[in-house]
Amino acid sequence: MAQNPYDQDTRPGIDAARLWAGGVATAVVAALVAIVGLLIARGIFDVPVLAPKGEGAWGSASTTTYALAAAAAALLATGLMHLLSVATPAPSQFFGWIMVLVTLIAVVLPLTLTVEPSAKYATAAINLVIGLVIAFVVNSMAANARTLHRRKRSTRPDAPTQQWNEPPSNFYDR
């Protein structure tokens, strides 16, 4: 027997397990991007980003802190996308705008510091790449985690309790 299409309600949803698994993977990618950016800045261009000169290409504990901060930003972005996916009509658009503005803050902030200009520009560039990676990966990952949830309708479409088939009434006698 064929199933009546009115017996189910299809609403967009999100597979939270897939979203958060992708969020953890994005956090790893963001941390690695931060490390690679610092290694390139310090090791190739000899720019002392987040470490005094003489600390080497790896630098000090600030390298680990920077990588962990990038990973935390990716997890926060995943949480934001999850919230937007269940609460807003166009989650990708809101997420995109929020990520552009947060990334812009992360790029402009180092430019306001009183350090060497090369350190300012290198930090701004690293922050830009980290922000773009997080934004693109979380957005595409969330698109893959979107699903259609099927739920049973509580009433039949032709049930007598629905008033759409009745003429309008001025009285509330029911």
pLDDT at 160: 54
Q: Give the residue ranges of DSSP H helices in the chain.
A: 16-39, 61-87, 91-111, 117-145
Ranges of each domain in the chain = 11-149
Cβ atoms of residues 100 and 89 within 8 Å: no
pLDDT at 173: 54
pLDDT at 141: 93
d(CA 38, CA 57): 8
pLDDT at 9: 45
Which region holds residue 54: left if phi is over 0, alpha if psi is between -120 and 50, else beta? left
What's the CA angle centered on 105, arms 130 and 79, to 5 degrees?
60
Give the contacts of 66 (CB within 8 A, at least 6 positions apart).
Answer: 34, 38, 50
In this prediction, the residues of the chain whose per-residue pLDDT falls under 70 are 1-12, 51-61, 148-174
